[in-house]
Amino acid sequence: MSSSEHPLVHTESEGRTFTITLNNAAMRNAMSTAMFDGLEVAIERARASVKRDETLIVILRGAGKAFCSGFNLAECVNDNTMLEQFVRRLGELSSTLRSMPAIVIAQVQGPALAGGCAIVAACDIVCATDSATFGYPVHRIGVSPAVSLPTLMATMGFGGARSLALSGEIIDAQRAKVLGLVQFVECDESALAGRVAALVDALLLKGPQALRATKMWLNQIDGTSPQGFLGSRVHDTIDATAKLCGENEVISMLQDYWSKRKGGS
């Protein structure tokens, strides 16, 4: 077993499984500059391990009572360019997770919102507690969730993705399962950990080459491969979403939202 510590992201490699834990429970694992830094390094370490044929399964999880509550908006309020940077980094992370030749499992408890939901949508298999929630409540600050659409549409289908992305609705795990975003729902965190462990054990009995080939074919069929209908548009959606972040609407809505939040309204 090997592990490494980052202030906000912990990684652990055991056998053919590489686990990445977002480790800022006090901030509900919000995606700050430091969190992105740690997560990018962790995912690159996982990808390198996959290329060396050491890792077959990557698990993404969050410490505490949340998977990931989205962006750390405090940084974005203080720097108008930060939101655009976050969107671009999120888009690249999501694309990397989808294209990685390993089976990526999301282990979700509590909120997986906005950027957190985008990460979940990029994973291959999603396991969640019954209390987990999902959604993109970002229109209230003038931001589009379009950066997540390629993987969201491939995972949920066009109708479900359109509804979730446009409505800003936050849905529970059972509803997310019906829509195809979640595959397994468990009653609590202990049962969730057991489900993920059982899933990993079952996957490790399969042929590694067959699993990798299946994922790559799935990406080609659902259009999320780099050459596919959705995958080839990833950078277009990243650019369009990021550019929107510099518009006056976003700046004013974010400032208004933050001032009300800080004022307790």
pLDDT tens digit string along 134-180?
A: 999 999 999 999 999 999 999 999 999 999 999 999 999 999 999 99
Q: Which pLDDT band holds residue 222 (cuts at 50, 70, 90)? A: very high
Q: Could you tell me which residue, 161 or 233, shows the higher pLDDT?
A: 161
Average pLDDT over every residue of 234-254: 91
Q: What is the pLDDT of residues 78-117, one digit of tens each?
A: 887 999 999 999 999 999 999 999 999 999 999 999 999 9
Q: What is the pLDDT of residue 264?
A: 53
pLDDT greater than 60 at residue 265: no
Q: What is the pTM of this model?
A: 0.95
Judged against a pLDDT cut of 50, whether residue 128 lies above it is answered with yes
The predicted model gives 236-259 an average pLDDT of 91
| Statement: residue 3 has pLDDT above 70 | no
Name the residue ranges covered by the structural domains of the chain: 2-190+208-262
Share of the chain above pLDDT 90, in %: 87
CATH 3.90.226.10 is held by the domain 2-190+208-262: yes
pLDDT of residue 221 exceeding 50: yes
Looking at every residue in the chain, the average pLDDT score rounds to 94
Supply the DSSP string of 234-251, one letter for each residue: HHHHHHHHHHHTTSHHHH
